Structures are given as structure tokens and as C-alpha cells.
Structure 1
Amino acid sequence: MSRISGVFAGLKAEGRAALIPFVEAFDPDRETSLALLKGMAENGADIIEVGMPFTDPMADGPTIQAAGRRGLLAGATLKGTLALVAEFRAGNAHTPIVLMGYLNPICSYGVASFCQDAAKAGVDGLIIVDLPTEEADLVLPDAGTNGLDVIRLIAPTTSDERLPKVLAGSSGFVYYVSITGITGTRTASAEDLARDIPRIRAATDLPIAVGFGVRTPEQAATVAKFADGAIVASALIETLAREDADAVLRDVKRLSAGVKGARAA
């Protein structure tokens, strides 16, 4: 069983959803992003998503675009991001790490080499935002050989007919993009989630995590009532840019409390 599957199995037994916060590698510098990785794991993060900075992040809103730019200016590379994960993994053997990014840098690195190096560093899963379903075989074989989950994105506009095609070969969990648009904008309502999550569950046995627009403990709690995980990114990046890493960790702790109390409430 992979670390990701193990976490979701344990949380299902507890009767609660996962909190999945986001860190952009090297934002604003390597030391801070490493401190955030360690601190998030200590303050309630069940899985951590790590952004791989890229010059053309088409799915991201201004907040994460700016974080990626800061990371690149601080010297972020794919090798540097993997080394960051490896340093985190040296002190934490249990919290799953999922890399989120774009296909171009992975192809430039070499897909086979990237998957091998990611697995060696302690990465558990990959979210490749712009990997088309029809070209998933670019990554799936090497990811599978190296024990990496490939987590696919589902949108509100994904039809019932297309769902099985998009999810073919996916593992770990399903990332439900709960809004049409870019990261960090509006938030899906309880009514939206009550309508959409059952439709996805009918097509897969994988856990479903909801992202794009989840910002507050209350919104995370709403997600946790319907889905298996709440992903929070832009709100944490904004806190980091406005305040500091300690403030981000306080937010993570509050988000974790919201998720943990959602179903009990």
C-alpha cells in the first residue's frame, strides 16, 4: 500500500477527511519552504502538495503565479525541488508528498529519470496539470514502475462519458477542480459539492479531494462533509506573502481543526 492510500485508509477508519495544504518550492527561499513542509506535517497536514515552479503555469491564478516566480528567482529547479523533498523525507517517513506542476519541465528533465529521481527523493504522487488524457502514456509507465501515483484532475465540465477515460490509470486520489477557472478565485458551494461528488464517486473507488478555491476553515469543513480531502493553496500563499511562515502554520492548524470537526458537526 502506498503512503497516500495508507493515509486515506486510516482517515476513513477515523471517519474524517484529509487536509492537503500546498507549498510552492523555494517560495520565497529554500529554507522557508523546507520549514513549511516540516511545520505543516506537525500542525495537521495529512498530505502535502508541493508546487514545482514553472514559467507558464496556465492553471494558476495570480497568487500562485507570483509564488512560482519568487521560487524561480530564488533558484528553484526540478533537481532542487526533489532535493528539498529528500531533506524533508529524511526526518518524516509517513506524510505523503505530492508534486504538482506542468509537463514541459518533466519532459526536459527526462520522464524516466524524473520518475526515478522523484521516487528516490521520497515523492509519493504526481499532479501534472496539463497532461492530456490522450497523452498520459508519456508518464504512466515510468510512474508506475517507480511506485508513483498519478493523480488526475476532474472538472465540473467533465462529462459522465469522459470520466472513465480521464481516470484510467490514475491512482492515489482524484483531484476535483471544483470551479471552472484558475486557482484562488471563487469557492464551490455545498450545493455544488452535493451534486458533483456523487457523480464522481459513481465512476471511481479512489478518494476524492477538492481544490481550487478552498480558503477558510469553514470552507474546508464544508468540503470535508462531502469529499475525502480538502486542498488549500492560494490562501496559504497569500498569508506567507503578507506575513510569515509562522502565520501559515497557524492557518494550517485552524484548517486541520475545521476538517477534523466537519463530520462530527
Structure 2
Amino acid sequence: MIRHYFIIETMDGQVFNTRDYGIKIIDISVPSVEFLEETETVPGRPGAVDLGAHATRDPISIEFDFLARDLTDYPLLRNVIFRLFSHREPFYWTESRELGKRYKVRSRGFTPRQILTKGRTTIQLACNDVYAESRLRSTDDWVIDSDKLQFGMGLSGQYNPVWRYTSPFFTVYNPGDITVNPNYHDLLITIRAASSGLIIRNKTTGDEVKYNGTTTASDIFRLEPGCRVTKNSLSVLGQVTAGAYITLAPGPNEIELVNTTGAVDVTVDTRFYYF
């Protein structure tokens, strides 16, 4: 019988595997994403005006046992379990059945129930970022035998996982379920090209960034997370008009660079996001 496990990755890079702590998983419940509507009522108008919705997700619930060697060892192992989940900063949680995805979570308090040398408990992992994200970045090696790839990640034989481009016209494939938005996602687009009045346009989404300055082939022009725009690490947001970021819709995104001359080198560095 396959014994399931899960992985905890702290924000400072430490990795913990529950197989190393004698944890036996009984049940894992991952709720669906819920879209909560936002409405406004207008006097005299029937019903309500739909103002859209925002995504949320109830906590992930995990029930598990842990087995100590004897009664004396029980509180020591219990405290190790406490340390495993007690972090001031959020951490990443991955289960063995979906090794290609991880959730950014915080653990809520829990009280194990002791049964002789066995402890049983249920923990709640609050998932404030809502969506799961790929453990691999787009610029990592997306090889089929990687332990960070899995079925159900939207990979298609029609689109090769290529994230570096040498043409001003190229297609970026987003295998995820939702649009990657640098306002709150980890998306970095790096461009090396000579240009005057550079325009970056996603023809699929309609997003467009216009830079009113110039770049040389040795300059590093970046659209960074948080909608920062830099040239050689210095902000040039004041020279940008008609938007400051590009989003990536699920599926193929047709991108073009306008007003470039000579060679072009573009890298799209991001993670992808899933229900």
C-alpha cells in the first residue's frame, strides 16, 4: 500500500517531509475555490447590481496520526510535530499525490489527542493566496521525470515549454487555470533589445506597455512583480504610458514587441496557478 505524505517548505528554504516523522495520514480535504459575489442595491431597482466576485478558499484540513516509541517519547514527538507546523511566516504545503503543485498556507492551532503512544489530530491550513502554484518556475527544467511535474498541470504536446524567445513575435503558453497577473503573482519579463519607444503587447489579452525612452542591446529592461518597470535595475515607471504590466491568460498568449531593431532576447520567468 502506498503511504501518502506531504512536504513543508519554509520561506527560508527548509524542506520537511512527513515520512521522516512517522506521520500516518488519515484524510486530506482540499476545498474548492469559492467566488463570493459583490453587489450593490439601488433604490427602486429590483434585485442587486452585480459588481463582480472575489476568490476565496476554506482551510485545507488534514487528519493524521503519529506514533511515539513509548509514553516518555510521546511529548517529545508531539513537540516536534508542533515545530513542524508552527511558523510565524507562511509556508508552502505539497501533498504526495500532487507533487507538481504547492499551496501557500498558515497553520492554525491544533490539539493532538493522545491514545497511549499514539497521537491523533486534525490541522487546518489557511490558504489566503487561494490558488495552488507550480513548484517549478517556467525557467526551470520541465523534464518529464521531474518529481515536480504531474498530470493535470495543463501541459500539452501542442506547446513546448519554452520561455526564452529571440523573435519580436512569439507565443507564451500559460498551462495554469487562471490568468497570471504581476499585481499579485510572481511574473518577471526580461527584454534585451535595442529600441526607441518600445511597446510590449499581449494581443490575446489586450494588455500593452509603452516605454517612451530608448534601450540598447546591452540594456536589461524588465516588467517586474508588483508592476515595477526597470531599466538596468532603475525604475523607469515615469516614462511608461498605457499600462505598466502584461498579464498571461490561460492557454497561448500572442506577444509582440514593437519598435525594436536588431537582435531580441526575451525571457518570461513565472509560476503558474491552479484551482
The structure with higher relative contact order (CA 8 Å, sep 6+) is: 1
**TM-score by structure 1 length?**
0.28
More strand by share: 2
The structure with more radius of gyration: 2
**TM-score by structure 2 length?**
0.28
More helix by share: 1
